Structures are given as C-alpha cells and as structure tokens.
A and B are shown apart, each in its own frame.
Chain A
Amino acid sequence: MTDFLDPLPWLIMLPLAWGTLAFVLGPGRGGRLAVAAIALQGALALQLAGQLIDSGARVYAVGGWGAPLGIDLMADGLAAVMLLLTQAVALPLAVYARGYFAASPKGRELFWPFTGFLLAALNALFLSADLFNIYVTLELLGLAAVGLVAIAGGRQPVTAAMRYLFATLLGSGAWLLGVALIYGTYGSVSLAVLTPLIHAGAPLAVTLAAALMLAGLLLKTALFPFHFWLPPAHGGAPAPVSALLSALVIKATFYLALRLWLELFAPLTTVAAAQLLGVLGAAAILWGSVLALTQSRLKMLVAYSTVAQVGYLFLLFPLATLVPPGTADSALAGGVMQAVAHGLAKAAMFAATGSMIVATGRDDISRLGGVGARLPLTLFSFGLAGVTLMGLPPSGGFSAKWLLLGSALESGQWWWVVVMIVGGLLTAAYVFKVLRRAFLPRAAGDRVARVPRTLEFSAFALALASILLGLFGAPLLELLAVGREA
C-alpha cells in the first residue's frame, strides 16, 4: 500500500513527532498537542482495525526492502486489539494528566515528551515483526517508563526508578542474547522467515534462546516472583504515570510473551512449561492480592493489585497449550480480554486514586473519610473499576474470567477455577477496604478538597469503558480472530 495516509506507519511516527515537539516547546508544554494527537492516533487505530476486518492481516515492508534484508511490520487482530487498547487508555489519561498536573505540578515538566515516546514505543512494539527491532522498541519503552517513574524526584521515586532500570535492562539483555542466538542459528531475525524454520527438533541454541527471551519478558511483566520492582515504581510515580505503566507497559511484554508462545516458539512449548507459567500466575494472584490487603497507602494497594491481575494473564498459557483448538481459542480470547479489561480498569483506578490523593492531600487509606460525600463520581469510578477487577457481571473482567473458566473446565484443569474464585474474593476484600473507608464521614481535622472536573470525568470514562467492554466485547473478539485462522 502506497497511501500517504496509511494509518500503520503514522501510528508510530505521530507520537514520536509530538513527543519530540513537546520537548522543544519547553517544560510542561505540549499537553494540548498531545491530547489532539492521541485522538488522531485513536482514529488511525480504528481505521487500521477496519482494514484488518475487511481484508485480513497486513504486512508492511519498511523502506520497501522486505524481510529478511529489511524490517517488516505486521498488523493482525491481536496487534490491532492492543493498539486500540493503548490509544483508548491514553486519550482519557492525557485529559486527566492536564488537570492533574495543574493541581499537582510535581513532575510535569517532562511528562509529555516521555509520554509521546512511551506511546510510540508501544505502538512500534505491537506492530513489529522483527526480533531485533523489537529489542529496540523494548529499550525505548523501558527508558521512557523509567524516566516517567523518576520525574517526580525524591528518594523513593529515584530508588524505584533505579531498581526498575536494572530490571528492565536485564530483561532486554536476556532478550538480545536470545536474538543473537537465533540470528547465529538461522541467519535472520524476521518472524516471517523464522516461524517456518523452527520445529520440535530445533537445536539447543534455539531452546536456550526461547527460555532466555521468555524469562526476560516475565521479568519485565513483573510476574511473580519477578514482581519486586513493580509496586515501588508504580506506587511512587505521579498518578497519570502509574496509570500508564500499570495499564499499558506491562501488557506490552505480556503481548510479546504470548506471541512467542503461540507463534514463533509454538513447536517447542510443553505442558510442563505451560503449567509452570500457570502456577506462577496463580502465586501472583494470591500473593499480590494478600499484599494489596495489607497496604496502608492507597497507591501501593492499587500497585499490588496489578501484581495480582498480571497473574490472571498467565493462566492463559496452561489453558491454551496442547488442548483442543476450541478450548485454546476461548483461553486466548479470555486472556486478551483480561488484558484489555485490566488496562481500562487499572487506568481508571489509578486516576481515581490520584484524584483522592489530590483531594485529601495525602496517600493514606485510613484518612479517606469524607471522600464519598465530596467526590462521589470519583469513588463510583473506583468502584466500577473494582467490579471489573473482581470479575463481576456485566463487566469486561467478567467476560474475561468467564472465557478462562470455560476453557479450564473444558480441558479438565479445575485447579485454575479454584485460583480464580479465591482471587476474585480477595480482590473484593481489598476493593471494599477502600470503599468502606471512603464512605465514612470526614474525620475532624482532615480536609477533602474538590478536584477539577476533568479529573473526575476522565476516570469515569475509563471505568465505564471497562464495564461496557463486557456488554459489547463481541466486535473485539471478532477483530482478535483476524489472521488467526488455524
């Protein structure tokens, strides 16, 4: 396709351009530009999704060379779903961030350039079909995320950023070693070239590469027991940053793990490895939820909730490996639905949390009294997001867990059902811990200020989207199936 307005390249070029321009404009500038550009990106992602539904998956040869000499981009249903999620989360958060940094300016100077580069990295990662190019997008994503964690300054954020940087660099180092082994074995890094070459009897180097790349991604996705860096990083950053990181950044590495597992390394996957991923996911659900319950700071509670919700994503691996195709399809649909539902709901939850912290002036669950009376819409958004995380109908979280439960029962793996039910109960416990406090009357000496309405409405839009996803999720699943007919 030689159309100047082809959405695919612009989804990467546009955020790079506005991120750079925001830097040139100066400290704290560029918010309006960002909102307009992200809205445009959303339209481009929708246009691309429409193209895919009409005419199937697309390959795009950058520079016109084509793989293996050049770099190919590839857009299929899975990539399009992640692109839609990214722009759908980023737009309300950009509106939110403008209000948030007006009320709480710490860290606003470079927020927009970092966010532009972060979104460019995400879009580029979802579209890339080249292992080395994915490495570059991973580093772009990692450095943007670390920079965002550090923008507020101070001892705790800088410590969290340092720890996050080491984790993310180690993860991409493992990825690059895997890429080196693959290039050294086959002489190419293009996914399209490599996929037919890898079969069950692949050399040891390829098995090692698969293990290293997957381990690096798990570290970056913060799957238990690699979650140590996530709570301080997500819990210490300004609220719009926490929302971007929890909703989108960890999903990107999950997406890569999923792609490798289902496509490139599918001939090498074993039931034992899939069960191990499931066990780590189950441990993450239980451990993350229990720790969320014990937190006294609101943002840390929400950050530990992310550790737990990441666990659900990894239940998809045992449910989709070496099972009948129908079961695997419903597991994949459930896992991707969980990624989308969690992305929307967690962004809403961090946004609502940020509003509560701005209103009360402190990040303390025991001092939330009066929030229910003064910020009803914000608290309602927090509750709606909680409904999605718990997996109650009619939310997107319910659809996700329903699909996962279905494939667990079909494949006779009842133990994951138990984990999901216990996890749902624990989620309810920590969500109600916050709601109960917020409905109490204001304590003497505490203040609860009003917050700008853009803060309340943007959080509500995200929470509402996470619920509506459950009612109108069918088109998304239709899109997901594009390019996946086996």
Chain B
Amino acid sequence: MKAWLTALIALLCSGLALALGAAMLALPEFAVRLPGQVAANLDASGVAHPVTAVLLNFRGYDTLLEVAVLLLALLGVFALSRHASDHAHPAAPAHPVLQTLARLLAPLMVLVAGYLLWIGAYAPGGAFQAGAVLAAAGVLLRLAGLLPAWAQPGRLLRGGLALGLLVFLAVAVAGLPQGELLHYPPALASPLILLVEAGLTLSIGLTLAGLYLASAGWRQ
C-alpha cells in the first residue's frame, strides 16, 4: 500500500480517537436511567440476577436473534466445509497423558456446565457460559484425539444444533395468546427461562464446538 495512503488512514484514525475522547468528556446528564427500572421489575422477571433478567426477559428478543446469528456462523462453516479439499482427516495421535487428562476432565466439564446453567438465575453464569464450557470439553476431546472431526452432521446432530433455537421460538410464540411475543406470565417466568436456557446450553455447546470440529478435518 502506498505510503501516503497509510499515513492518511493512520491520521484519520487518530483524529477519530481524539474526537471520540473529546466527545466523551463533554457528555450531559443522562436523560433516562434504566438500572432503577431493571431493579423495580426484577421480581416479575423470573430470575434474581439483573444481567440474566435483561438477557432473557427484558431484552430476550435480542438473545433470540443472537442465537440465530450463532447458528448461522456454523452454517457458513458447513457451507465451506462441503468444498474443503480433504474430509475425514483423522485426529492426530495425542500424548497418552493428554488423553488420560481429557478423559478425566470431560465429565467434570459437563458437571461445571450444569452448575453454571443452574446458578445463572441468581449469580454470574447462564446458558452461554455453560455452553462455552461444554464446547471447550468438545475441543479438548478432539485435541486429545478422542473425537472425530465432523465431516457433515447427521440428522440427530442437526436436531441438537437447532434444538435451542426451536425451543426458544416455541416459548416466544407460546406467549402470544396471553400477551405479546416472548411474554412470560410472571408465575411461569422462572421455569420457562430455565427451559430456554437448558435448550440453549446444549445447542450453544454443540455450535461452538462445531465451529472448531467442522473445520478440524480440512487439509492442514
């Protein structure tokens, strides 16, 4: 790239940073404050942790679309993996210590995922954290040579990947006769959120693991 263009881009980016900084130092008082509203409605949300309440109830619609975004990324990797030059790449043989360790750790990670899912209602945790731990277990098993790469997912696996989104969609439209989309009756909010989160944990775990496993068999 030409030197003058590099200099110009660097100059513009620095200018942007300075302008942003100047703008941040000259902000007025907030016109609207949401923390109070979140606290006031927390009892009706079905969970005790304010971030979880925002994620799965007040702004649960964002989360619904975000789950679709995650699945979409995996579909993109699958689309590419149809054209990858070499499938069925066997897992590299791993060191026996790593294999033993992975065998020990994987069940514990599943347990941790379950714990994270459960405490999400009142402490930091929830479906995404739990799913990430599940996915890490999958990646670990693959690195230890104990799990094959996904060439193309079978129907059972596709169902598992889609389950979280389908459960979420079903719960979302189940609220329609009584109120609006994603409306949880306060009495049922708690179990409904747990149901959605349980489905999401499984599907997010599979999806995140799949992002790695679906391309793990490509030619190195």
Q: What is the interface of chain A, defined by CB distance below 8 A to chain B?
A: 2-4, 6, 9-10, 13, 16-17, 19-21, 23-24, 26-27, 60-65, 68-71, 107, 109-110, 113-114, 117, 120-121, 124, 132-133, 136-137, 139-140, 143-144, 146-147, 150-151, 153-154, 158, 181, 184-188, 193, 197, 203-205, 208
Can you list 16 A-B contacts (CB < 8 A)? A9-B181, A19-B68, A26-B158, A65-B41, A69-B41, A71-B62, A107-B79, A114-B72, A117-B68, A140-B65, A150-B79, A158-B80, A184-B24, A187-B31, A197-B31, A204-B19
Provide the B34-59 mask, 1 if CB < 8 A to any CB of A, else 0.
Answer: 10011001000000000000000111
Pair A63/B184 contact, Cβ less than 8 Å: yes
- Distance between Cα atoms of A471 and B19 in the complex (Å): 50
In the complex formed, the residue of B with least CB distance to A209 is B23
Shortest Cβ distance from B86 into chain A, in angstroms?
Answer: 14
Give the contacts of B18-40 with A (CB-CB under 8 A). 19-20, 22-24, 26-28, 30-34, 37-38
- Distance between Cα atoms of A110 and B72 in the complex (Å): 10
A-B pairs, top 7 by smallest CB distance, nearest first, are: A153-B83, A187-B30, A205-B23, A9-B181, A147-B76, A187-B32, A204-B23
**In the complex, which of the residues B57, B78, B166, B180 has the most CB atoms of chain A within 10 Å of its own CB atom?**
B180
How big is chain B's contact interface, by range?
A: 35 or more
Q: What is the interface of chain B, defined by CB distance below 8 A to chain A?
A: 19-20, 22-24, 26-28, 30-34, 37-38, 41, 57-62, 64-66, 68-69, 71-73, 75-76, 78-80, 82-83, 152, 155, 158-159, 161-162, 165-166, 169, 172-173, 175-184
Query: Are A20 and B180 also in contact (CB < 8 A) when A139-B69, A147-B76, A205-B23 are?
Result: no
Pair A20/B27 contact, Cβ less than 8 Å: no
Pair B166/A23 contact, Cβ less than 8 Å: no
Pair A154/B57 contact, Cβ less than 8 Å: no
Pair A24/B158 contact, Cβ less than 8 Å: yes
- Set A23, A26, A68: member contacting B32, Cβ < 8 A: A68
- Distance between Cα atoms of A64 and B152 in the complex (Å): 41
What would 10 more interface pairs be, CB under 8 Å, given A117-B72, A186-B31?
A23-B158, A62-B181, A62-B182, A65-B41, A65-B58, A109-B79, A110-B78, A114-B72, A154-B83, A197-B31
- Distance between Cα atoms of A9 and B62 in the complex (Å): 14
Specify which chain B residues have a CB less than 8 angstroms from the CB of A3 in the assembled complex.
Answer: 176
- Distance between Cα atoms of A19 and B79 in the complex (Å): 15
What's the dominant secondary structure at chain A's contact region? helix
Pair A203/B26 contact, Cβ less than 8 Å: yes
In the complex formed, the residue of B with least CB distance to A202 is B28
Pair B61/A62 contact, Cβ less than 8 Å: yes
Specify which chain A residues have a CB less than 8 angstroms from the CB of B37 in the assembled complex.
Answer: 68-69
In the complex formed, the residue of B with least CB distance to A6 is B176
Pair A17/B80 contact, Cβ less than 8 Å: no
Shortest Cβ distance from B106 into chain A, in angstroms?
Answer: 27
Shortest Cβ distance from A29 into chain B, in angstroms?
Answer: 11
- Distance between Cα atoms of A62 and B179 in the complex (Å): 9
Pair B26/A204 contact, Cβ less than 8 Å: yes
The total of Cβ contacts below 8 Å across the A-B interface reads 170
**In the complex, which of the residues B161, B173, B177, B181 has the most CB atoms of chain A within 10 Å of its own CB atom?**
B181
Specify which chain B residues have a CB less than 8 angstroms from the CB of A64 in the assembled complex.
Answer: 179-180, 183
**In the complex, which of the residues A132, A151, A181, A197 has the most CB atoms of chain B within 10 Å of its own CB atom?**
A151
- Distance between Cα atoms of A447 and B212 in the complex (Å): 45
Pair B27/A184 contact, Cβ less than 8 Å: yes
Pair B166/A63 contact, Cβ less than 8 Å: no
Query: Are A71 and B76 also in contact (CB < 8 A) when A20-B165, A139-B69, A205-B26 are?
Result: no
Query: Are A147 and B165 also in contact (CB < 8 A) when A185-B27, A203-B23 are?
Result: no
